[in-house]
Structure 1
Amino acid sequence: MTRAHAGNDACFAVLSAQGEVLEISSGLQRLLGGIPAQEQSGPSQIFGIDDWHATKARIAKTGNAAWDVWLVNEAGGRTGFRMIGYAINHQDQSRTYFLFCLPRPDFTAERDTLVMSAYVDPLTGLFNRRYLEEAAKDAIAASAALASQVGILVLDLNDFKRINDTFGHGVGDRVLSRVATAIVDAVPLDCIVSRYGGDEFVILCQDLSYPGELAQIAEAVKREVSAPITIGKDQIMPSVSVGYARYPDNGCNLTALIDFADLAMFQDKRGEEAAEGLRPAVEGHAMQQALVDAINNQEFVPYFQPVIDLVTGQMIGVEALCRWIKPDGTILTPMNFIPLAERLKLIGTIDHTILQAVCALHARYRSELPEGFRYHVNFSAASFSDPERLDRTLDCLDTFGLRPQQFLIELTETVALAPDMLEGQVIERFHAHGFGIALDDFGTGFSSMSLLKEIPVSQIKIDRSFIMDINVSARSRGIVTGLLGLCRALGIESVVEGVEDAETLDVISDLGADCAQGYLFGQPAPFADVLTRHVGQRPHLWA
């Protein structure tokens, strides 16, 4: 006998293994103006299922089935629906079938093939991100209605960039297809496997049966994927990092669940155990919330390290360095939170928070600062990928009465060579507005020299690794001499980092360095402390 499920706006129906209609939601009833008259006969044909056994077989093979249908209400009105059906396994080994009904009056059955092509990844044959989003919405609605649980697993193919770089993108595509097949082979039939983007896959698990099921699926996928792939004479050993989350415990929608699972996957990628329950994800989720709270509570603040002009001995600027000062007074350096902030896409917000604080401090201490005082700021690659980053930065400076010429944007080689940076000419756009461009950690990467041709560099910061033994190593001294000569030849200002003692200061001064930075002049500190130590004091106070 059919039940009318009340108290839910979702449009769905539940069918038995024999195709009988067991339940119709109140949301679907309201849309149809009551229970369809055809339902009196009880068969599943009222939902556009001509062959129930074929539909069940399709669900068993792919995890779900979808089709378009017109449903007719008692008054004779017609409403177009996209029907998405999938199986629900119960603890007593029985199985029912959930049909989620998406009102789509603009769709007709003739467009089914065209519509489904929009849901499939052409390379792997898996469902794509668009389909996953719709299926997850349906599964969560069903889970809420049936008091069941839904699971999400996020998988990332390890070292895929190296595979592409070594063997070429054609081989990379073949590896992705083989990994996709391995994932499908490893998961239960009622799971939906999708290629979420690039080398990332997401698995949707419906109606979880027991607490450790997600962990078992994760381990099964890892084992199946790890089988060697032979490409010609070469053998590739693929592996994946996996994280997972559960609805409703760890999120109320797909985005929240993926963020939660992403954290566990990130820890798994770093070599931490992520298969025993959700402990890593829970800790990551707590860290995520702590980061959000820290942004809202203004716990991210700039500390400053002076940049010294070696001709005058005076401080001519400062580098702004991010610090997280927690409510208990604990001070965290970027290495403790930046990787996670980047993963959670919060780094752009943190970068802008630091910029605003720098500008506000300048406005407060403007009258105490020497002429031409400059600020060195660090932006992440994610910040630069924001198309509004330049406008937001200019607006921030204008609000506090600063000019771009008072800022140097420090770039590492990794950031400078990011595809978005080069293709979008992001650095050139900042430079055109008057910002100085400083290459940080210069000399440590493979492409440092080529960057001098690619981007408009105003300043080179010579990495401390060349300075640490400059007093005793002729090779290090020779390298620094060469780099300083390169700067002079190109008309680029030089800053030597990592100066920690007076002897090193004397050496780099004799070699002709323009500026220096390091613990000899002071460790990173609040702006007021840096000004007290350096502004208005005699030159070479540190000597």
Structure 2
Amino acid sequence: MSNPERSPSNGASPPLALALGVADDDQTDLRRTLEQAGFRWQTTPETALNLELVRDCSPKVLVLGDQVDGASSLQALLQAAGGLADEVRDLAEIEQLERLAQVGRWRFDANTGRLDCTSEGARLLDGAEDLASLLECVEPAQQGALQDWFSPGLESGDVVEFALHAHNGAVRRLRLVHYGTCRMHQASGFVQALANQPTGPDIGAEFHDSRGLQVQSDFVDQVHRGIARANRGKRSLAVLFLHVEQLARATQTWLPADVRALRSILAERLRNALRSSDLFARPEDAGDLASAGDDAFLLAIEVDRDQDAANVARRLLEVTEGRFSVGEHHAQLQLGIGVALHPSDSSSPPRLIELACGAALEAREKGQSGLSFHDAAKNAEVFQKLSLEAHLRRAVELEQFEVFYQPKVNVATDTIVGMEALVRWRHPEMGLVSPLEFIPLAEETGLILPIGETVLRQACMVAKRWQDEGLPPIRMAVNLSSAQFEQPDLYEMVLQVLDETGLAPEWLELELTESMLMGDAEAAVVILRRFKRAGIHISIDDFGTGYSSLSYLRRFPIDSLKIDRSFIRDVNVNADDAAIATSIILMGRSLKLRVVAEGVETKNQLAFLKVMQCDEAQGYLYSRPVPADEARKLLDRN
């Protein structure tokens, strides 16, 4: 295969050196130098644009030119050629070392799928010239993971291992390592032949067992790298020890071939429940589990939350429920899963495996399929969250959410000028569940999206109904979560709700936090301007707790600022809080923005706001959040 990295020593045609515009009398030394490096010689009367060494991930390729007509220019040319000769000789030595170490280099072009290799890399990869031909040499079960590995986003140090079936029948156990990106669409690295290579067509147990699973030694290496990736992404890594209890006892009358078939079916079910990026392996020594005649597996996954690991474990428990059948035989298996987490439990892969194994033993002692974390306190926390999440999903289906309303009052006239819609969850058994309990979980799980749309729709319906009943129109404020604000169809969804409920856009106010806006300030400006053009009012909630830039604050098309309750609580006794609240009020006034103080609970706090001429106030001094019927009564008395 054509490759710019190969040296003449491997039998390929030597590189071509062109002497462009070099006088005949000056070519002798240049030609000798290049031919010593293994270059073919060719002269041409044409001229090149410049004299340079072209560097592009691979060893240098020489381009000669620029009408060499003086001693200094020729000397520079000789020096460049001499340097190239040294590099070519070094390259030959490197390739010899590669052959001895069974390590080759590769470069992949994502645009073309082209795979270029050094001579040893080409040998190890069985001459594959592109990704498609490489995948043809890999078992179908491994092709997806290998193809995903070559996708854009490779980071230095990323590794994948697989068994390659060469055309001559040999099977090679290989490791690909990525070590750099030359251009946006190119990646490079090396391919390594791993130890204990099988010589025939059978895949050796040293790398994969009959189910295509990695063994523990490879798994530990992968977990090391998984921890590094998790750290870069500010995530956690969960190691799961899966213990299949008493498999040997359940199959003691089975033929060995049937037992192997059962184990393959079990491994396939587990693997199909996982992502291709999850690490799945067989432990080399399962300790007490192995001595009990049980089966065991290892799993490592990146997670954002502890309960993500529990969700995966629950999925694995589900796929192993029910009977396993092989021919006329049937078996009921129990799966105990132990979980250890990086970084909370350990950052050592062997230690994580050990802790997960211990947790699996605890799960086994329960006498049925189950899950246990190494940290006992985490068990209660995670299972409480899982239970709450299950109830929360059910609540979305059954529409158990209600909207309460809290009035916003004009400080100067003491009249209600608006309402804020606040969601409440009325569970049939738990009663009213605090938003502090379920809102963070809803945001973590993505359930905040359907909940948020429900709140928006109910609030708009109520506001329109009050208008239709003859009450003076007031502005209805609805909070947007960060997940909602990132929805690509947020604008269309809000306008559709307004259209369906009949509420005019000028009577809707969307409340967003500083952190949401500053996450991507430029994008926030764009979407806020769309809402503004539609006539919808925009308010920044919890102002003063974030890090918004005053220059961006002027650019945001907002209508009001809400002073966070933390600055109002001690405004009469804490000089710093009083100064911050005063600054926000004065800044809002200078920017022609309404300023709303939230969390007003005492008359002294209200007196301060009146002195500072704050526009509006909201808090328990006026009313707690109340259901729609009670909120209407407040408007009747307004």
Please state which band the TM-score falls in when normalised by the shorter chain. Answer: 0.5 to 0.7
In structure 1, what is the equivalent of residue 596 of structure 2?
495
* Aligned-partner Cα distance in 1 for 2:223–2:436: 25
After TM superposition, the structure 1 = structure 2 runs for residues 106-505 of structure 1, keeping only pairs within 5 Å, are 117-118=150-151, 121-126=154-159, 176=232, 203-205=278-280, 243=309, 245-246=312-313, 249-250=316-317, 276=359, 278-279=371-372, 280=379, 283-328=384-429, 330-368=431-469, 370-419=471-520, 422=523, 425-447=526-548, 449-505=550-606
8 Å CA contact retained: 1:461, 1:496: yes
Q: Which has the higher contact order (CA 8 A, sep 6+)?
A: 1
In structure 1, what is the equivalent of residue 95 of structure 2?
none
Q: CA deviation at 1:392?
A: 1.1
* Aligned-partner Cα distance in 2 for 1:115–1:473: 57
Task: Report the secondary structure of 1:457's partner residue.
Answer: coil
* Aligned-partner Cα distance in 1 for 2:600–2:345: 33
CA deviation vs aligned residue, 1:151-209 (integer Å, no higher than 9, x gap): x9x99999x9xxxxxxxxxxx989749x99x999x99xx99xxxxxxxx9953325788
Change (3 A) 1:366 1:113: closer
CA deviation vs aligned residue, 1:272-304 (integer Å, no higher than 9, x gap): x99645354655443333222101111122111
8 Å CA contact retained: 2:282, 2:296: no
Q: CA deviation at 1:516?
A: 0.3
* Aligned-partner Cα distance in 2 for 1:410–1:376: 7
Structure 2: runs of 5+ lacking an equivalent:
1-123, 126-132, 162-209, 214-218, 243-266, 269-274, 321-338, 347-351, 364-370, 373-378
Aligned pair partner of 2:615 in 499, 514, 518: 514
8 Å CA contact retained: 2:149, 2:160: no
Q: What code does the residue aligned with 2:620 have?
A: Y
Task: Report the secondary structure of 1:243's partner residue.
Answer: helix
Q: Percent identity?
A: 26
Aligned pair partner of 1:84 in 140, 148, 169: 140
Change (3 A) 1:156 1:333: farther
Q: What code does the residue aligned with 2:280 have?
A: C
Q: CA deviation at 1:451?
A: 4.2
CA deviation vs aligned residue, 1:65-119 (integer Å, no higher than 9, x gap): x9655xxxxxxxxxxx973357xxxxxxxxxxxxx9x9xxxxxxxxx99897349
In structure 2, what is the equivalent of residue 527 of structure 1?
628
In structure 1, what is the equivalent of residue 636 of structure 2?
536
* Aligned-partner Cα distance in 1 for 2:606–2:341: 42
Q: CA deviation at 1:513?
A: 0.8
* Aligned-partner Cα distance in 2 for 1:365–1:508: 29
Change (3 A) 1:367 1:217: closer
8 Å CA contact retained: 1:120, 1:127: no
* Aligned-partner Cα distance in 2 for 1:217–1:512: 61
Task: Report the secondary structure of 1:350's partner residue.
Answer: helix
Task: Report the secondary structure of 2:550's partner residue.
Answer: helix
* Aligned-partner Cα distance in 2 for 1:451–1:519: 32
Moved more, 472-481 or 433-442: 472-481
Task: Report the secondary structure of 1:362's partner residue.
Answer: helix
8 Å CA contact retained: 1:441, 1:463: yes
Change (3 A) 1:351 1:322: same
* Aligned-partner Cα distance in 2 for 1:157–1:526: 53
CA RMSD in angstroms, aligned pairs only: 5.1
In structure 1, what is the equivalent of residue 327 of structure 2?
none
* Aligned-partner Cα distance in 1 for 2:494–2:345: 34
* Aligned-partner Cα distance in 2 for 1:267–1:114: 28
Q: What code does the residue aligned with 2:140 have?
A: I
8 Å CA contact retained: 1:302, 1:321: yes
Larger radius of gyration: 2
Q: CA deviation at 1:490?
A: 0.9
Q: CA deviation at 1:347?
A: 1.2
* Aligned-partner Cα distance in 1 for 2:223–2:485: 27
Task: Report the secondary structure of 2:499's partner residue.
Answer: helix
* Aligned-partner Cα distance in 2 for 1:157–1:418: 29
8 Å CA contact retained: 1:242, 1:268: no
Change (3 A) 1:482 1:250: same
Q: CA deviation at 1:487?
A: 1.3
Q: What code does the residue aligned with 1:428 have?
A: R
Change (3 A) 1:314 1:155: farther
Q: CA deviation at 1:354?
A: 0.8
8 Å CA contact retained: 2:598, 2:617: yes
Moved more, 469-478 or 520-529: 469-478
Change (3 A) 1:399 1:298: same
Moved more, 274-283 or 511-520: 274-283
CA deviation vs aligned residue, 1:112-159 (integer Å, no higher than 9, x gap): 99897349835442459xxxxxxxxxxxxxxxx99x9xxx9x99999x
8 Å CA contact retained: 2:543, 2:564: yes
CA deviation vs aligned residue, 1:301-345 (integer Å, no higher than 9, x gap): 211111001222111111111111101252123221122222222
Task: Report the secondary structure of 1:500's partner residue.
Answer: coil
8 Å CA contact retained: 2:407, 2:618: yes
Q: CA deviation at 1:415?
A: 1.2
8 Å CA contact retained: 1:316, 1:370: no
8 Å CA contact retained: 2:466, 2:473: no
Equivalences, count: 366
Q: What code does the residue aligned with 2:441 have?
A: L
Q: What code does the residue aligned with 1:345 have?
A: G
* Aligned-partner Cα distance in 2 for 1:404–1:486: 27
* Aligned-partner Cα distance in 2 for 1:483–1:82: 64
- With the length of structure 2 as denominator, give the TM-score of the two structures: 0.48
Change (3 A) 1:400 1:472: same
8 Å CA contact retained: 1:299, 1:324: yes
Q: CA deviation at 1:457?
A: 1.7
Q: CA deviation at 1:374?
A: 0.6
Moved more, 117-126 or 313-322: 117-126
Change (3 A) 1:444 1:118: closer
* Aligned-partner Cα distance in 2 for 1:324–1:156: 43
Change (3 A) 1:456 1:212: farther
- With the length of structure 1 as denominator, give the TM-score of the two structures: 0.56
CA deviation vs aligned residue, 1:198-232 (integer Å, no higher than 9, x gap): xx995332578869967x8669x99xxxxxxxxxx
